[in-house]
Structure 1
Amino acid sequence: MHGEPKIAIIGSGSWATALAKILLNNVEHINWYFRNTDNIDQFKRFGHNPNYLRGVEFDINRITFFDNLDQIIEESDLLVLAIPSAFLHDSLKEVTVDMSHKFIVSAVKGIVPHGNQIVGSYLHETFKVPYDRVGVIAGPCHAEEVALERLSYLTIASPDIKRAADFANLLECEYIRAHVSDDIFGTEYASVLKNIVAIASGIVHGLRYGDNFQAVLVANAIQEIKRFVDKVHPISRDIKSSAYLGDLLVTTYSQFSRNRTFGAMIGKGYTTRTAQIEMHMVAEGYYATKSIHEINEEFKVKMPICEAVYSILYENVPPSVGIRQLTEKLR
Structure 2
Amino acid sequence: MMKKQIAVLGAGSWGSVLANVLAENGHHVQLWSRNPDQVAELNEHHTNQKYLADFTYQPALHATTDMVAAVTGAQVVLVVIPTKGLRQVSHQLAQVLAASGDQPVIAHATKGLEQVTYKRPSEILAEEIPAAHRQAIVVLSGPSHAESVAIHDMTAVTAASEDLASAELLQGLFSNQYFRVYTNDDVIGAEFGAALKNIISIGAGALQGLGYHDNARAALITRGLAEIRRLGVAFGANPLTFIGLSGVGDLVVTATSKNSRNWRAGYQLGQGKPLKDVIEQMGMVIEGVYTTKAAFELAQKRHVKMPITEAIYRVLYEDENVETAIKNLMSREVTSEVE
Q: TM-score, normalised by structure 1?
A: 0.92
Matched, 1:82 2:80: yes
Question: Which is worse superposed, 106-115 or 304-313?
Answer: 106-115
Show the counterpart of 2:23. Answer: 24
For structure 1, list consecutive stretches of 5 or more residues without a partner in the other structure: none
Contact 1:17 1:53 in 2 (8 A): no
CA distance in 1, matches of 2:124, 2:184: 20
2:308 corresponding residue in structure 1: 305
SS where residue 107 of structure 2 aligns? strand
Counterpart amino acid of 1:184?
V
The normalised TM-score by structure 2 is 0.90
Asked whether the equivalents of residues 232 and 299 of structure 1 are also in contact (C-alpha less than 8 Å), the reply is: no
Of all paired residues, the percent bearing the same amino acid is 29
Other-structure match for 2:143: 140
Q: Distance in 2 between matches of 1:176 and 1:234?
A: 26
Residues in 2 aligned to 1:297 and 1:192: alpha-carbon distance in whole angstroms: 17
1:103, 1:301 → 2: CA distance?
Answer: 34
Shift of 1:28: 3.4
Query: Residue by residue, what CA displacement relative to the aligned partner does 1:225-280 show, whole Å, maximum 9, x if unpaired?
Result: 11111111144634222221111111111121111110111111111110011122
Mark the CA change 1:297 to 1:81 in structure 2 (over 3 Å): closer, same or farther: same
Verify the 8 A CA contact 2:5 2:74 in the aligned structure 1.
yes
> Cα offset for 1:207?
1.8
Tell me, what secondary structure is at the counterpart of 1:226? Answer: helix
Whether 1:219 and 2:231 are equivalent positions in the alignment is: no
For 2:107, the aligned partner's letter is V
> CA separation of 1:310/1:20 partners in 2, compared to 1, >3 Å: closer, same or farther?
same
Give the match's secondary structure for 1:190: helix
Q: Note if contact 2:201-2:266 (Cα within 8 Å) is conserved in structure 1.
A: yes
Aligned match for 2:119, one of 117, 120, 130:
117
- Residue 269 of structure 1 aligns to a residue whose secondary structure is coil
Q: CA deviation at 1:155?
A: 0.8
Aligned to 1:104: 106
Q: Is 1:208 equivalent to 2:208 in the alignment?
A: no
- Shift of residue 132, structure 1, vs aligned partner: 6.6
For 1:128, the equivalent position in structure 2 comes to 130
Aligned residues: 329
Determine if the alignment matches structure 1 residue 237 to structure 2 residue 240: yes
Q: Contact 1:152–1:176 at 8 Å: present in 2 too?
A: yes
Farther-moved stretch of structure 1 (114-123 vs 188-197): 114-123
Once the 2 structures are TM-superposed, how far is the Cα of residue 129 of structure 1 from its aligned partner?
4.1
Report the CA distance between 1:90 and its aligned residue.
Answer: 3.8
Alignment of 1:238-253 (within 5 A): 238-253=241-256
Residue 272 in 1 paired to residue 275 in 2?
yes
Q: Which runs of 5+ in 2 are unaligned?
A: none
More displaced stretch, 271-280 vs 237-246: 237-246
Give the secondary-structure state (helix, strand or coil) at the position aligned to 1:320.
Answer: helix
Q: Distance in 2 between matches of 1:307 and 1:118?
A: 20
Residue type of the partner of 1:299?
A: R
SS, match of residue 7 in structure 1: strand
Task: Please point out which of 243, 254, 274 is paired with 2:257.
Answer: 254
1:43–1:50: 8 Å Cα contact kept in structure 2? Answer: no
